[in-house]
Amino acid sequence: MKDLLAVVMLLGIYSLLSASFFVTMDAVDVAFTEAAVGAGVSTLLMLVAITMTGRKEHPTRHKPLLAIVVVIITGSLLIYGTLDMPRFGLAEAPIHQHVAPRYINDSMQEIGVPNIVTSVLASYRAFDTFGEVVVIFTAGMGVLALLSMVRRSEDTENIDSNNYSMHEQHLILRIVSKMLIPFILMFAFYVQFHGDFGPGGGFQAGVIFASAIFLYTMLFGMNTARRVINQAFIQILAATGVLLYGSVGVVSLLNGKSFFDYSALASDPIAGQHLGILLIELGVGITVAAVMIIIFFNFADRRNYSPNKDSENS
Amino acid sequence: MLIAATIAILVVMIMATIRAIMGPTVYDRVLAVNMFGTKTVLLISLLGFVMGRPEFLDIAIVYALINFISVIGVLRYSDNFTLKKSEAQKK
Amino acid sequence: MQVISALFLLIGSFLCLSGGIGILRFPDFYTRMHAVGVTDTLATAMILIGLILISSDFLVDVKLVIILLMTLFISPTASHALANAALHNDLAKKDKKSNDEVTSSNS
């Protein structure tokens, strides 16, 4: 189909469906992240992108027959290669023999956090998670480097008149959102700090926080949102999250243990683990929320200067 | 009874997907996606009870919020598509 | 208690199914909107009340009540926003008679 808007919506359904799959396979954290990121933020960003590029796909001049043949051959070869692997979910498969039993057996004594996913992500594999946070931060910096533009000062004069004209059209939405947005922010904090005991953690909390800000921006206009949420502050916040994460590791180094060894943070090793996990999840949450807000503001800001200025002020 | 309700909701989700693929206008598709999201919330709550894992309810809350934000986003940003189309028709 | 909860679940599933049939069979967008908007919220409320009646943990009850309140807020608002957007952008109504004032655009 050539209609990109329909494709974006079908992608939203697809990500909701795959999150349901994860739920039936009992992988709760993954389903959480897939729901928040795939169905929420990803769909919104793609929508903003196609408002700038146009809604219909341009007709291609050549038939993609060769590409389809290559894809089918490669795909069937890969599937043939996986026929040799052990059955899905088999308990004696080699992947479940070496590292996983140690995590499952020892995680409660060594770290004391009921959610094994959080303990693996934040303590056993803290270095990998550090890499993920730095990647997210780099993506935000890339978007800033490519898409940011200097705002002219005469745009901010029209805020009040635009606010009023948008007010009648979206009145009910605005009032309901004013009641919902504090609840969404509180829920983001709940997910952040409850990540030790249930599904959640820094990534999901950051995305939920950012989506509350998206809701505010969409309904109250870009100019008002920029006055409420200062861009320079958000950029500093993004860097602060990564700095917090890295400094936890450096403090461990300075106390004589290895990098990201949390037992150096407090006198009791278990309390040290809890403190370490808390701090790095906070760092992850701050960075993810700030980077999402940066990306959305820069995408949506570009839209104001695109040729179709006859639309209402966004 | 829980399992029967789960199967009913799965059937309705398939119906909503058919409408999302078929629907002639964009508003039909948005309606189908909204309905799909609400049914997913119910499906996850029921699955949580069937499988005995009440942590699924956090995911259900997130879905309800994300569904709402996506629908508002689509409506907000599809405004200027149809506005351009109707202006082109008037010319 | 189990019987009352099963009754609520049954009513909820029936409403859900009728909404699903409605979205497939009705001729026009506005009529489909009517089917989905009404049955969606009501089916969610019924099924969630049925689940509240059989849950044993207090925290699970609180979360279910939160989902219920949120759905009661969110679902009618989304239906209103969708119908308003369609009306504002002059989506045509398929009418059999021609003596009604359906072509006004701003409401």
**Chains near B (3 or more Cβ pairs under 8 Å):** A, C
Alpha-carbon distance of A156 to A222, in angstroms, equals 10
Using one digit for the tens of pLDDT, what is the confidence trace for B55-86? 788 888 988 998 898 888 888 777 655 544 44
C49 belongs to a structural domain: yes
Domains contained in chain C, number: 1
Q: Which of C41, C57, C62, C70 is the mutation pick for testing A, counting most A CBs within 10 A?
A: C70
Least confident segment among A16-25, A144-153, B63-72, C89-98: C89-98
Chains in contact with C, counting 3 or more C-beta pairs less than 8 Å apart as contact: A, B
| Tens-digit pLDDT profile for residues A61-99 | 777 888 899 999 999 999 988 887 777 767 677 777 777
Q: CA distances (Å), C23 to each of A314, C58, C88, C106, in order?
A: 32, 36, 22, 26
Percent of chain A residues past pLDDT 70, beyond the cut = 88
Count CA atoms within 13 Å of residue A250 on its CB side.
6
Secondary structure of chain A as H, E, C letters: CCEHHHHHHHHHHHHHHHHHHHHHCCCHHHHHHHHHHHHHHHHHHHHHHHHHHCCECCCCCCCCHHHHHHHHHHHHHHHHHHCCCCCCCCCCCHHHCCCHHHHHHHHHHHCCCCCHHHHHHHHHCHHHHHHHHHHHHHHHHHHHHHHCCCCCHHHHHHHHHHHHHHHHHCHHHHHHHHHHHHHHHHHHHHHHHCCCCCCCCHHHHHHHHHHHHHHHHHHHCHHHHHHHCCHHHHHHHHHHHHHHHHHHHHHHHHCCCCCCCHHHCCCCHHHHHHHHHHHHHHHHHHHHHHHHHHHHHHHHHHHHCCCCCCCCCC
Higher pLDDT, A257 or A36: A36
The minimum CA-CA distance between C85 and chain B, rounded to whole Å, is 7
Instruction: Please name the member of C70, C80, C88 whose beta carbon is closest to the beta carbon of A172.
Output: C80
CB-based contact A176 C88, cutoff 8 Å: no
Closest-approach residue (CA) in chain C for A172: C77
pLDDT at C104: 47
Q: Which three-class secondary structure state does DSSP give residue C92?
A: coil
- What is the average per-residue pLDDT within A231-256? 88
Q: Where are the alpha helices (DSSP H) in C55-102?
A: 58-88
> Between residues A155 and A19, which one has the greater pLDDT?
A19
Q: Is the domain of A142 the same as that of A74?
A: no
pLDDT of residue C97: 55
Q: Would the pLDDT of A11 be above 50?
A: yes
Least confident of A56-60, A240-244, C39-43: A56-60
Chain B interface disruption, residue of A15, A23, A51, most B CBs within 10 A:
A23
From the list C23, C74, C89, the residue facing B19 with the nearest CB is C23
ipTM of the complex: 0.80
Q: Is the pLDDT of residue A178 over 50?
A: yes
Q: Are A104 and A213 in contact (CB under 8 A)?
A: no
pLDDT above 90: percentage of residues in chain A: 20
- Mean pLDDT computed over A8-19: 84
Residue at A36 is within a domain: yes
Q: Do A282 and A181 have their domain in common? A: yes
d(CA A19, CA A98): 28
**Residue A75 domain-assigned?**
yes
Which residue range forms the structural domain that includes residue C33?
2-88
- Least CA distance to C76: which residue of chain B? B68
Residue A303 — pLDDT band, cuts 50, 70, 90?
A: low
Residue A290 lies in a domain: yes
Is C33 in Cβ contact with B5 (below 8 Å)? Answer: no
Both A11 and A138 in a single domain? no
Higher pLDDT, A102 or A166: A102
B81 touches chain A (CB under 8 A): yes
Whether residue A135 is predicted with pLDDT greater than 90 in this model: the reply is: yes
The residues, any chain, with a CB within 8 Å of residue A142's CB and separated by 6 or more, are: none
Is residue C107 one of the residues assigned to a domain? no
Give the residue numbers in A contacting C (CB under 8 Å), as ranges. 169, 172-173, 176, 179-180, 183
* Higher per-residue pLDDT: A116 or A93: A116
Same domain, A192 and A154: yes
Nearest C-alpha in A relative to B34: A13
Whether B73 and A43 lie within 8 Å, measured CB to CB? yes
pLDDT higher for A30 or A164?
A30
Residue with tokens 């200027």: B80
Residue A210 is predicted with a pLDDT of: 92
pLDDT of C7? 92
> Which of A106-110, A225-229, A293-297, A304-308 is least confident?
A304-308
Restricting to B residues 39-78, those with a Cβ less than 8 Å away from any Cβ of A are 40, 43-44, 47, 51, 53, 55-56, 58-59, 61-63, 65-70, 72-74, 76-78
Domains of chain A: total: 2
User: What pLDDT score was predicted for residue B81?
Assistant: 55
Residues in contact with A84: Cβ distance below 8 Å, sequence separation at least 6, in sequence order: none
Amino acid at B5: A
pLDDT of residue A164: 55
Mutating which of A20, A176, A292 best tests the B interface, going by the most B Cβ atoms within 10 A?
A20
What is the rounded CA–CA span in Å between residue A281 and residue A287?
10
Residues A258 and A147 in one domain: yes
- B5 reaches C (C-beta below 8 A): yes
| Nearest residue of chain A to residue C63 (CA atoms) | A187
Residue A91 is assigned to a structural domain of this protein: no
Residue A173 has its nearest CB partner, among C70, C81, C88, at C81
Chain A positions touching C73 (Cβ under 8 A) are 176, 179-180
Could you identify the residue written with the tokens 């570009």? A302
How does pLDDT run across C36-70, given as a tens digit for each residue?
889 999 999 999 999 998 888 888 889 899 999 99
Residue A4 domain flag: yes
Query: Is the pLDDT assigned to residue B40 strictly greater than 90?
Result: no
Query: What was the pLDDT predicted at A275?
Result: 86
CA–CA min distance A172, chain C (Å): 7
Q: Is residue C97 part of a domain?
A: no
**C65 interfaces chain A, CB cutoff of 8 Å:** no
Cα–Cα distances in angstroms (integers) from residue C45 to residues A260, B46, C41, in the given order: 47, 13, 6
> Which residues of chain C make contact with B27, given a CB cutoff of 8 A?
29, 82, 85-86, 91
Out of A35, A70, A85, a domain closes at A85
Q: How high is the pLDDT of residue A312?
A: 42
What's the domain range around A70? 1-85
Whether residue B10 has pLDDT greater than 50:
yes
What percent of chain B is predicted at pLDDT more than 70? 85
Indicate yes or no: CB of A176 within 8 angstroms of CB of C77. Answer: yes
The C-alpha atoms of residue B38 and residue B34 are separated, in whole angstroms, by 6
pLDDT of residue B82: 52
Element (H, E) at B72: helix B56-77
Mean pLDDT of B27-45: 88
**Residue C45 is assigned to a structural domain of this protein:** yes
pLDDT in tens, A276-297: 888 889 999 999 999 999 998 8
